[in-house]
Amino acid sequence: MAGVDHTGPILELEGVVKRYGGFTAVKGLDLRVERGEIFGFLGPNGAGKTTTIRMIAGILEPTEGRLRVGGADVTSEPGLAKERIGYIPDRPFLYEKLSGGEFLRFVAALWGREGPELEERIEKFLSLFSLSQWEDELIESYSHGMRQKLLISSALLHDPELIVVDEPMVGLDPRSARLLKDLLRSFVERGGSVFLSTHTLEVAEALCDRIAIIAAGEIIALGTMEELRAQSDAGGAHLEEIFLKVTGGAEVEDLLDALDGALRRRGGPPR
Ligand SMILES: Nc1ncnc2c1ncn2[C@@H]1O[C@H](COP(=O)(O)OP(=O)(O)O)[C@@H](O)[C@H]1O
Ligand SMILES: [Mg+2]
């Protein structure tokens, strides 16, 4: 692609704000995700993860600030930016009256893709996710997990550079969750990048090179697991205290318990 920067960060957020009426859901986010990185966006429910992801995917417009995907501005160059993203939403929307195969061909057609290469790709995804025998069945007969897998396949059909996933493990059985993890890892090994939101620390810890913790629309900690641990151990404000002060509530405490446990288990040198 002419004039496209393939060396800079794959994703950049600068002063990104989102207001819903008088309520500010995202309060000035600054973030950079480098190529080849799995970046985790961790926070309790209501923290602003989905809002941020929908702005990255170009579905919601930011109230303020800029978002760039591989250098392309999401607002002023939406086509370029979207082409580079494979977006896997938290709430799947699928056409019930299409078969799985028809849905994948429909999505591919939106990207102008068809022909033998596409058919091969579709077969590959269907077989990877054990959906081959369901290819001609209507989506309305699919289980939640099957829908999720079809959706993941549809997001990857156009060869994106950045996979953006919102709460990916919800609704997947252990085998599919494992498959998705392996898929995301092999995707970054081949030069892709991943931005993944989750409310569970286990998912973030198992997958991510760096993690940003978001609470009430603000990033309260950012770094590798080791760096987060150092921040948490440093004198002054503990990660836990910051977290509780900014958010509060039982759910946050659950998250922190998990964080604590994981940090203790980890202990060793950074990956
Ligand atoms: N369309 C909307 N209108 C008004 N408030 C919203 C809307 N979508 C989300 N919110 C609010 O914004 C905050 C962040 O929500 P969300 O981005 O979905 O968080 P998360 O994905 O981290 O759970 C929540 O307080 C939520 O209630
Ligand atoms: Mg969400």
CATH code for the part of the protein at 11-94+142-266: 3.40.50.300
- Under a CB-based contact definition with an 8 Å cutoff, are residues 155 and 162 in contact? no
Residue 47 near ligand 1, beta carbon < 6 Å: yes
Helix (H) or strand (E) holding 174: helix 174-189
For residue 3, what pLDDT band results from cuts at 50, 70 and 90?
very low
Residue 51 near ligand 1, beta carbon < 6 Å: yes
Quote the distance between the C-alpha of residue 141 and its chain's center. Answer: 27
**Residue with the larger pLDDT of the pair 261 and 117:** 117
What span, in angstroms and rounded, lies between the C-alpha atoms of 154 and 147? 10
What span, in angstroms and rounded, lies between the C-alpha atoms of 165 and 207? 12
Ligand nearest to the CA of 48: 1
Q: What is the pTM of this model?
A: 0.84
pLDDT at position 264 is: 56
Q: 195 pairs with which residues across the strands?
A: 39, 164
What span, in angstroms and rounded, lies between the C-alpha atoms of 154 and 163? 12
What span, in angstroms and rounded, lies between the C-alpha atoms of 181 and 67? 26
**Residue with the larger pLDDT of the pair 100 and 149:** 100
- Beta-carbon neighbour count of residue 208 at 10 Å? 22
What spacing in Å lies between the alpha carbon of 116 and ligand 2's midpoint? Answer: 37
